[in-house]
Every structure is written in structure tokens, then in C-alpha cells.
Structure 1
Amino acid sequence: MEYKMNTKMNISLPKYEQYKDSGVEWLGEIPEEWQTTKVKNVFTLIIDPAPKNNAFELLSVYTDIGVKPRRELEERGNKASTTDGYWFVKKGDIVVNKLLAWMGAIGVSNYDGVTSPAYDILRAKIKIESNFFHYLFRNDACISELKRHSRGIMDMRLRLYFDKFGDIIIPFPKYEEQLNIVSFLDRKTAIIDQAIGINEKQIELLKERRQILIHKAVTRGLNPDVKMKDSRVEWIGEIPEGWEVKKLRYLANCFPSNVDKHSKVNEKEVRLCNYTDVYKNDFITDDMDLMVATASDEQINKFTLKKGDIVITKDSETASDIAVPTYIKENLTNVICGYHLAIIKTYQINYSKYLFQALKTKLFNTQFEICSNGITRVGLGNSDLRNGYFLLPSPQEQIEIAEFIEKGTAKIATAISLKEQEIEKLKEYKATLINSAVTGKIKVCEPIN
């Protein structure tokens, strides 16, 4: 008997000879020789306070990568001034973030260290391969079960306490089979992760190529033999003869939006283009699923988005996310600009596509990053936006440059999209493989060709 996975990797794996009903809905059938048991029969909740003035490794559990030393991933983040009163963690313990277990923040620790009392530490009561349970607890089917047993009135307030977690029924193969499954998954997931990493690097290279293409076009034009002149702006350097350096206020009307997410009975219903819509998309189109809100007549008149408008992020958590642009590619139905954003309406229509491309370059975007200020959240003032410098070719050159960039970046965008699709397929395959192995849908205790 074989279990076939419909993936590009086209791997066929054997199944067990006989199965039985586990009696557990999320598990379904399991191999005849496997057992089921409750989590509390395998693990005990440990409360082991670390000694004062200790120098143990501070550990955290993350949804995407499991348990890791915090210093490796949060050098710029908040650091505990002391770890007195933290829980001691031994290598092989399962660490559970009670608040985020339903999102996958659970995993085995490969380190001795300490962790926040907000986490639960589970230690094996019997002989097990801890990494088997790492794979089990982090697979999608089990995470859904963790969520079902969590308490709270809404997702962001869910808590998974051990009295509930301990009652969850899980598959329990023999120890030797746990070892085989872990060995198999370690080997296979390493291959998949390597393939994902290669695709991610290729995407970064494609993005760099796109940035170089745009930068060269908006700073030197399309004529490789053009004569250059001093721009008289140090950070811009030389520019083509015939081009001008202009402040944005001479090219466009710029103003921030004050329309927040709300619904009021005395206002008109609108579709709201929000921060995430701008940050995640190069273009805003009418078929997008935008938030429904309300706005006053005055706000509708001022902030309605029209074809050719540019919208940028003006507030963000980090300065590097300031002045990220999107372009209004077509006429929209009842769409207005939301809060934390600014609208740029060019005085001449041929400016807009060219200016949008210029805003996507690091050279011009960095000036706004530098001007932004704030502590927990940074913002770009409208005066700083209006006084930003840009290069202005002739109207005809602007059109030609915008068309050249649009055509060139479209090819790159297609290549990036294909790579992203490949990554999603690999991630889906990895999740299916793990789930199938830890629930006994495939047999991995024999060598796989």
C-alpha cells in the first residue's frame, strides 16, 4: 500500500498494513499498533524557578521557528533586566506560550536556559523522543486542537492552560518509531527548507535587479550616452543635461488623510484604502477587497482617490517603512484614503507614473526616512514631504521612462510570483509530510528510496 502526495517532488511513501479508529476526531485512523494517550500522561507541568543572579540563556518560543535564544533574534528588541524568578528549562523540555499556542508558539527546547513565567514548561514523565512531539504539536491539525481547548472570549485573548492541554488525546507510537519518524522528518524537512531558502534568495536577487532597473532609469534616463551635469545636491550627484531638480511641492499637491476606521450613522458609506493596502500592493484597483467605513461629505470631497493619484505611508513603526508608495491605476468606486497615509496628486498627469517609480527607489525614499521622527511610532510631516527633492526630465522622457520601467518590472514581478508560488507549494508539502508522519498516515520506519 502506498500513500501518494500530489506535489512537484512526487514522493510516494508506504502506509501501514492495518489501521484502526483512534476515536479522536482530529486524528482519524491510526496504525493498528499505535496507541493514544492524553498529554498529561506523557508530560508534567514543571515550575522550576531559576536561581537569583543567574547567567543562563534567555529563551523564547516563536510561532515560525520554535524555541530559540532571544539574543539571536531580538538584539534590537526589549531585553529582560533580570531573569530572577524565570523558569528553568532543560534541553528536551516542551515550552508553551499559553497566549499564542493556538498560533503555533510551542516547541522543544534544544538548550538549557531560562524563560518567562508566562510560558509553561512541560517535562517528559516517560521515555520519549521530544522532537516527535515538537513536530506533532506544531502541525496544523494539532494546532487547531490546541485552539479548541484554549480559553478566551476572542482569538487574541485565548489562553491554553495545562488543565485543558493535558486532556488532549494524542497519538503515541513506540519509542523506536518516534526516533524513526524524527530522523525521517529531520532529513526531509532540511531538504525542503534548503529549497525554500534557494527560492527566497532568488527572490531577493530579483528584487535587487528591479531596484537597479528603476534607479538607473529615474536618475540617468534611457540614453546611455547622455551628458551629465552637477545636480548641486550632494546626495543626488550628477544628473542628465536637460533635467532639473525640483521639490515635490512644485510637482504635486500633497496632503495627509485624517479618515480613520469608523462607522457613524450620520455619515456616508465608503470603501477605505488603509495602510496595509498601500504597504502590500504596488497598485490599488477597483476589484480589491477594501474595508467598508463611513466618512463626512468634506472628507469624501478631499480624500477620494482618483486614477493617477499616488498614496504613501506617512506613519509607521519603523522609519524604513515611511513613504512606501502605491499607484491608483484605474478609476475607483467610492474609495477614499485612510489614516496614516498621504495623497500625492501631481499637477500634470504625465508626472504621476514617473514620480511613483521615483518614490520606489532607495535614493529618493531615504530622504523621507531621515526626516521622519518619533519614538514608538515614526511619522513624516507634510512640510518634509513637500520639500523632498526629485529629478524632473522632460514630459516626453517621463512617459518613456515610466513605460520602460513598467514593462521591465512586469517581467521581474512575474518571475517573483512564480518563485513565491513555488515556496508556498514547498511549505504546503512540508506541512502535509509532517502531519502524515506524526499521525501515522505514512510509514517511515523502513528506509525510503
Structure 2
Amino acid sequence: MRTKLKYVVDIVNGATPSTAEPDYWDGSIEWATPDDLGKLTDKYIFHTTRKITDAGLANCGASLSPKGSILLSTRAPIGHIAISQIPICCNQGCRILKPTSHIETSYMYYCLSDSKACLNALGQGSTFVELSRERLAAMQINLPPIEEQKAIVSFLDRETSRIDALIQKKERLIELLKEKRIALITQAVTKGLDPNVPMKDSGIEWLGEVPEHWEVKKFVYACVLQRGFDLPSESFVEGEYPVMGSNGIIGYHNVYTTLAPNVTVGRSGSVGKVNLITSNFWAHNTSLFVLDGKSNCMKWIYYLLLSIDMDSVSEGSAVPTLNRNYIHRMMIAIPPRTEQIAVSDMLDSYLFNIDDTIGKLETSITLLREYRSSLINAAVTGKIDLREAL
């Protein structure tokens, strides 16, 4: 049986107390936003980033909903979903759905999870897209008998928990591999490949001992970085040359500014993102590029930049920006060019295997998430018959 949401849930709008009234804020009432819902890793919400007072609740038009209510973000973006484990209210970017006796809360949660594409398609607006209360109320879902809903929930709770545990293990393994990756790079570019070479104190706390024959100098003596060139997106002319922005290729142009091989570093936006480029390109103003490599191996410069903690040389909080002068002043250890090449070749070999493993894990996670979604869809649309589990 199909039914409209308005027949199985009560829909409650959210609101925001005046931010000009301090007495409305920092109380004990949980006040959810789309951002709160977007940060969740499971289906339950236990607390919110901000809380309001009784006075704030009374003067903003929101209302407190009981534990077991469903929160749905209906703008910026549409489709974040959670089940409250505490009494809760929300801002105008969310709506609260209070299930009636005709529907199981978790069954409603899974139905909405399966309907994210539909929810987004129902959104309207030019400045920002929002799902209206009326359109939400008119959306239809499958409504089997309550006992069958419970069987579906039991099945999906069990199976999705198993899938989520597998995904979590794979994500943790990726984290460990990425930590190993940066550790290998840092060890190679600061200590070299020969563990028996005579060492000396660099005089730099974070650098420690370095090979005795390496030169300890400011970064600028090994490499000069330069800000890229302005090129609004509407000025792109279709061509063969990649435009390298802060996070990599952002388009193509018919003119290049910089010869390959070269390295770019995200200057604003994706601050600190390091890219090695092997074809001529346009260096965009959101990135830094190597203006002068001082005859050093460009691949070694790439690995050297990867080893640097870019957060320590960025500035600004709202919109972080990478200041090249901070990088230029950093003290580094510079090996002879022959060792730079050897270090780069070794890292290429070691990191290929790590990156290959990470890629396979990421593919596996994507497939597991797709399977999870298809399982929910099959259960709430009746493609899997769970009546035998009753």
C-alpha cells in the first residue's frame, strides 16, 4: 500500500532565535541544523553543536519534539536524516517528522534514506533550493503492516550494521596507509636512503639529524615558488593545456603559462594540495608553482613539498591562504641532485604499491555503499520478501 507522508507523520517546522539576544542561546535545549545532521556517522543524533534556552524556544516559533522524532534537512542540502535520541528542535533548514502509530520510526528513516533523489527533485527555489512542507507532506512511500515494518527494520539494522563495520575497517586501513605514506616521504627527504651514512645535527628542531654531506638552507635556495595567473572561468578557451587550480585541474585552455615538469601547491581553497604536472599548463592564481627549481630534481621538490606541514605555513581562518614567503623561509636539508633522483625513484616504487592498495580499498568502499543503498531500496519497496521473518 502506498500513502502520503502527511498521513503517517506530523511535520514540524524549525526556526532560529534572534542572535542579537544572548539570553536565547547557550541553554540546555538541543537545536539541530543541517550541518549537525551532515556530520553524523550513524542514524541517531544525541546532541547538537548549539543549544538554546527556554526563552529562545518560546520566542522563535520552533517547538520541542520528543525522542524518536525524525529530523530531515530540507535546504543546504536536502536529504540529511537522523532519529533523535533526545527531545529536540531545529532551525529553518530542517523539518521534524513525528511518526504516528501507523509507522515505525526506523522504517520511516529507511524510507527517507531511500528517497533522497526524490526529496531533492521536489526542492524548489532560485537563490537556494528548499523542500517545502507541502511537497514533503505529499511525497508517497510504501506502507506495509506494522509487523512487516518491524521485520524490515530488523533486517536492515542487522545488514547495514555489518556493511558499515566493513566500511569503517577499510576507512581505518586507508588512514593508516596514508600515515605510512607521509612517514615514508618524510623519512626519505630528510634522512636519505643510506642508514649508515655519517649524520650531523641540522640545528633545526623538527629536522633533527641529517646526512653530513647535505646542505641545510632556507627553502628558497632550493626552489622559488610563484603565485599563478588570473584566469576567470568565463575566459577559458577550449584547448589542450590543463588549468591547474588549488585542487588540481579545473579546466583546459588554449594557452599555457608554465613548462612541465613542474609542481603546484594549493594557495587558496584547497590549501597545501601538492600536484606534480607532466605537461605544459596554465598556473591558476589559486595555486603556487615552481618558478625556479635551482637545477634540483623536480620530482624531489614534489616529495619535499608533500613532507611539509602546510597548515603551519597557512594564514587566515575563514578562508585560509598559503603564504609562499613562509615556505621560502623554512629550513630544509638539500641532498646532491644524484641523491634527489635516487630518493624520488625509491618513493615512486614504494608509493605505487601503497596508492594501488588505497585505490582498491576506495573502490571496495564505493561498492559496499552502493550495495547498502540497493539493500535498503529492495527492503522498503518489497523486492525482498521478509514476511517469513515475522
Alignment of 1:1-150 (within 5 A): 35-46=1-12, 55-61=28-34, 62-63=37-38, 65=40, 68-71=45-48, 74=49, 79=50, 83-84=56-57, 85=60, 86-100=62-76, 102=78, 104-139=79-114, 142-150=115-123
| In 2: Cα distance, 1:64 partner to 1:55 partner | 21
Q: Please state how far the C-alpha of 1:150 moved relative to its aligned partner.
A: 1.6
CA distance, structure 2, for counterparts of residue 240 and residue 389 of structure 1: 15
- Does structure 1 residue 357 correspond to structure 2 residue 303? yes
The match for 1:203 is: 174
Cα shift readout 1:100-134 (whole Å, capped 9, x = no counterpart): 464x2233323222222432222224332011010
Q: Which residue of 2 aligns with 1:283?
A: none
Q: Is residue 389 of structure 2 the alignment partner of residue 412 of structure 1?
A: no
Question: What residue in structure 1 maps to residue 384 of structure 2?
Answer: 442
Q: Which residue of 1 aligns with 2:218?
A: 247
> Post-superposition shift, 1:241?
1.0
| 2:118 maps to amino acid | E
Contact map agreement 2:33 2:93 (CA 8 A) in 1: no
Contact 2:177 2:354 in 1 (8 A): yes
How far does the alpha carbon of each residue in 1:54-75 deviate from its partner, in whole angstroms, 9 at most, with x for none?
Answer: 522333452474552454xx5x
Is this contact kept in 1: 2:68–2:105, CA < 8 A?
yes
Q: Secondary structure of 2:216's match?
A: strand
Moved over 6 A (4+): 48-53, 267-270
1:159 paired with 2:142, answer: no
Alpha-carbon offset, residue 176 of structure 1: 0.4
Equivalent position SS for 1:87: coil
User: Is 2:203 aligned against 1:232?
Assistant: yes
Equivalent in the alignment of 2:263: 310
1:324 alignment partner in structure 2: 273
Aligned to 1:431: 373
Moved more, 387-396 or 420-429: 387-396
Corresponding position of 2:20: none
The AA in structure 2 aligned to 1:126 is S
Q: In structure 2, what is the Cα distance between the partners aligned to 1:187 and 1:112?
A: 26
**C-alpha contact 1:60 1:70 (8 A) present in aligned 2:** no
Distance 1:80-1:255 versus aligned 2 partners, 3 A rule: farther
Deviation at 1:80, TM superposition (A): 5.6
Percent identity over paired residues: 26
Distance 1:271 1:410, change over 3 A: closer
Residues 48, 88 of structure 1: 8 Å contact kept: no
Deviation at 1:346, TM superposition (A): 4.2
Check whether the contact 1:372–1:381 (CA below 8 A) recurs between aligned residues: yes
The Cα offsets for residues 341-400 of structure 1, whole Å up to 9 and x where unpaired, read as 101144355421112112112xxx23x533322231222323223222222111111110
Give the counterpart letter for 2:120 in structure 1: K
Asked if the contact 1:323/1:369 (under 8 Å) is kept, the reply is yes
What whole-Å deviation, never above 9, does each CA across 1:282-326 have from its counterpart, x for those lacking one?
xxxxxx7x42468xxxxx67xx2332211001224xxxx643311
CA contact (8 A) 1:96 1:107 kept: yes
C-alpha root-mean-square deviation of aligned residues, in Å? Answer: 2.8
CA deviations on 1:258-305 (whole Å, 9 max, x unpaired) are 42433249x89664222222xxxxxxxxxx7x42468xxxxx67xx23
Contact 1:251 1:351 in 2 (8 A): no
Q: Which residues in structure 2 correspond to 1:167-206 (within 5 Å)?
A: 167-206=138-177
Q: Cα distance, 1:81 vs. partner?
A: 6.6
Distance 1:384 1:48 in 2: 46
What is the TM-score with the length of structure 2 in the denominator? Answer: 0.86
Q: Is 1:399 aligned to 2:376, yes or no?
A: no
- The one of 287, 300, 317 equivalent to 1:341 is 287
Structure 2 residues without counterparts, runs of 5 or longer: 18-22
What do the CA deviations read for 1:226-251 (whole angstroms, capped 9, x no partner)? 11101122321111110011222222
Cα distance in 1 for residues equivalent to 2:324 and 2:52: 39
- Give the 3-state SS of the residue equivalent to 1:225 in structure 2: coil
**C-alpha distance in structure 2 between counterparts of 1:101 and 1:398, whole Å:** 47
2: CA distance between counterparts of 1:347 and 1:59? Answer: 51
The CA distance in 1 between the partners of 2:293 and 2:177, in whole Å, is 33
CA deviation after TM superposition for structure 1 residue 138, in Å: 1.1
Which residue number corresponds to residue 312 of structure 2?
A: 370
Q: Is contact 2:28–2:52 with CA below 8 Å preserved after alignment?
A: no
Instruction: Output the CA distance in 1 between the equivalents of 2:354 and 2:7.
Output: 54
5+ residue gaps, structure 1, are 1-34, 278-287, 295-299
Relative contact order (C-alpha < 8 Å, sep 6+): which is higher?
1
